[in-house]
Structure 1
Amino acid sequence: MRTSAPVRAAQYVALAAYAVFLGFPLLWLVLTSLKSAPELTRLTPTFLPEQPTFENFRVAVEQTTLLTALRNSLVVAIATALVTTIVALPAAYALARYRSVVRNIGIGWILLSQVFPFILIVIPVFIVLRNLGLLNTLVGLVLVYVVWSLPFTLWMLQGYVAAIPRDLEEAAATDGAGRVTVLTRIVFPLLLPGLVATSMFAFISAWNEFFFALVVIQDPDLQTAPLLLARYVGAEGSVNLGPLAATALLTTLPSLLVFAVVQRKLVSGMLSGSVKG
């Protein structure tokens, strides 16, 4: 049954409205970053900048450690995504394929760990990192992010593993393929979209996280992008809005670029997996 023209038009209108709804905050951020200080201090601000200027971007780059903060965030986010995925992959396969008491305990731990709020574990995390000599280091921050992201990543990845039919592995084993061959030639290609999705989740979580970074990092040269953004908020809630908007836009672009690249890999991986299955 073909969709009628009015219904299809309504679907396109709804889709366009949803796209505008999602893109409006980013559009507002771009426009704010292009406004001068007098325009931003008006009681009735305008939507479009009357005299667009790149002064806010100059201040964001030259008068702050923006490039250093972006580098630190990129290192931490990539390391978190890689380590989390490497650790979660074999554990997720074991949870999805092997039924045992250990599996039930592991699933219970995963669900229980998501209940605890950040503030509850701040002091233990601080003490552990201090005793290990990892306080005020990017390695310590990566370790915290891996531990915090691992439960949800593991839960999400084991769902992808469980969706792969066992018959494919059994058929390959019947044809004489060993366990390593089955995992590398059958399971891994089909699991690639799940690996991309979970890695993306770990990357974005580490890129945007602020609370743990505030506790772990004290050295200005090691601060991440969210910590840099917080420095634009002064006493009594005063905000340097123009440079803040420019810095926020510049810190958003890398994650958008990574998402655009990963999204293409995710779609191609899904198509490849469907053909192989």
Structure 2
Amino acid sequence: MKRFLQYVALTAYLIFLGFPLVWMLSTSFKPPRELVQLHPSLIPDAPTVNNYVQAFTEQELGRAAFNSLQVSLASALLTVLVALPASYALARFKTRLGTLALGWVLLSQLFPFVLLIIPIFLILREVQLANTHTGLILIYVVWALPFALWMLQGFVRNIPRELEEAASVDGATRLQVLRKVVFPLLAPGVVATALFAFISAWNEFFFALVLLKSPDLATLPVTLARFVGIEGTARLGPLAAGSLLATIPSLLFFAFMQRRLSSGSLAGAVKG
């Protein structure tokens, strides 16, 4: 009976999480007449693909999706490359500087980024990165690094020191220990960090809106916002179609990466 109640609760939770996506799918196929009904139905009475056609013809969703994909992948890669050695140093070397650095990482999460947008814009403008994807990528990396460091150093602490000591006794250098013992065992943490950095950059709107002025550089969230008029009236059909298409890459990225979440288990780390 307990197991049955657990399954019921899990099913209800999945329905709760998935219903907005299902409703967005339904809305994307509804004609304008059904979108203004007082009591809309989940299944469209007269399904149409005109919303998808309008979403692609009126706004350059393809280019915006490509821009977002470039920025998100680069941000995730750079975040992992910076956070991986830094998190190892924070977790393994107990120094006063490391403790202060970890405290600063936590403290930095308290700053609202809306207060930093003006100095960030001025700095990027001085180095001629204000209207470039490179500047946006740097902002996303700095934005994701505190949480990535905090998360990865927790994974490093869970790796027994005995594995590193055993490798050192066998004659491995510090670099070989990191490359052949530590980093493979950090695969779940690296995957989780990459997922966090990718999805954060993929969904981010505010910095992309302020820093990117050229229409051909706009990311997907900024392009989708153009379906909302000045008076706040949204064109629900094309907006739902574009939003649904915007969720697909992040879902595919998560599906691709989640298989590797268990690849860094400690099983097989020591010879049997």
How far apart are 1:255 and its partner, in Å? 0.3
Q: 1:3 is matched with which residue?
A: none
Q: 1:162 is matched with which residue?
A: 157
Map 1:69-148 to 2 at 5 A: 69-148=64-143
Q: Per-residue CA shift, 1:119-154, capped at 9, x if unaligned?
A: 110111000000010011000000110111111111
- In the alignment, which of 168, 192, 195 is matched to residue 173 of structure 1? 168
Secondary structure of 2:131's aligned partner: coil
Map 1:255-266 to 2 at 5 A: 255-266=250-261
How far apart are 1:235 and its partner, in Å? 2.0
> Does the alignment pair 1:22 with 2:12?
no
Map 1:213-228 to 2 at 5 A: 213-228=208-223
Q: Per-residue CA shift, 1:180-218, capped at 9, x if unaligned?
A: 111111101101111111011000000000111111011
Map 1:187-202 to 2 at 5 A: 187-202=182-197
Compute the TM-score of the two structures, normalised by the length of structure 1.
0.95
Q: 1:275 is matched with which residue?
A: 268
Please list every run of at least 4 consecutive aligned residues from structure 1 whose deviation after the TM superposition is greater than 4 angstroms: none
| Aligned-partner Cα distance in 2 for 1:156–1:11 | 29
Compute the TM-score of the two structures, normalised by the length of structure 2.
0.97
| Aligned-partner Cα distance in 2 for 1:99–1:10 | 46
Amino acid at match of 1:179: R
Q: 1:230 is matched with which residue?
A: 225
- In the alignment, which of 26, 35, 45 is matched to residue 50 of structure 1? 45
How far apart are 1:270 and its partner, in Å? 3.9
RMSD: 1.0
- Paired-residue identity, %: 56
Q: 2:243 is matched with which residue?
A: 248
Amino acid at match of 2:75: T
Secondary structure of 2:227's aligned partner: coil
Secondary structure of 1:135's aligned partner: coil
Amino acid at match of 1:160: F
Q: Per-residue CA shift, 1:44-74, capped at 9, x if unaligned?
A: 2222100111110111112211000000000
Q: Which runs of 5+ in 1 are unaligned?
A: 1-5
> Does the alignment pair 1:11 with 2:6?
yes
How far apart are 1:14 and its partner, in Å? 1.1
Amino acid at match of 1:86: L
Q: Which has the higher helix share?
A: 1
| Aligned-partner Cα distance in 2 for 1:121–1:91 | 24
| Aligned-partner Cα distance in 1 for 2:123–2:109 | 20
Secondary structure of 1:200's aligned partner: helix
Q: 2:32 is matched with which residue?
A: 37
Q: Which runs of 5+ in 2 are unaligned?
A: none
Aligned length: 270
| Aligned-partner Cα distance in 2 for 1:84–1:132 | 21
> Does the alignment pair 1:63 with 2:63?
no
Map 1:200-215 to 2 at 5 A: 200-215=195-210
Q: Per-residue CA shift, 1:230-253, capped at 9, x if unaligned?
A: 111102211100000000000100
| Aligned-partner Cα distance in 2 for 1:195–1:143 | 19
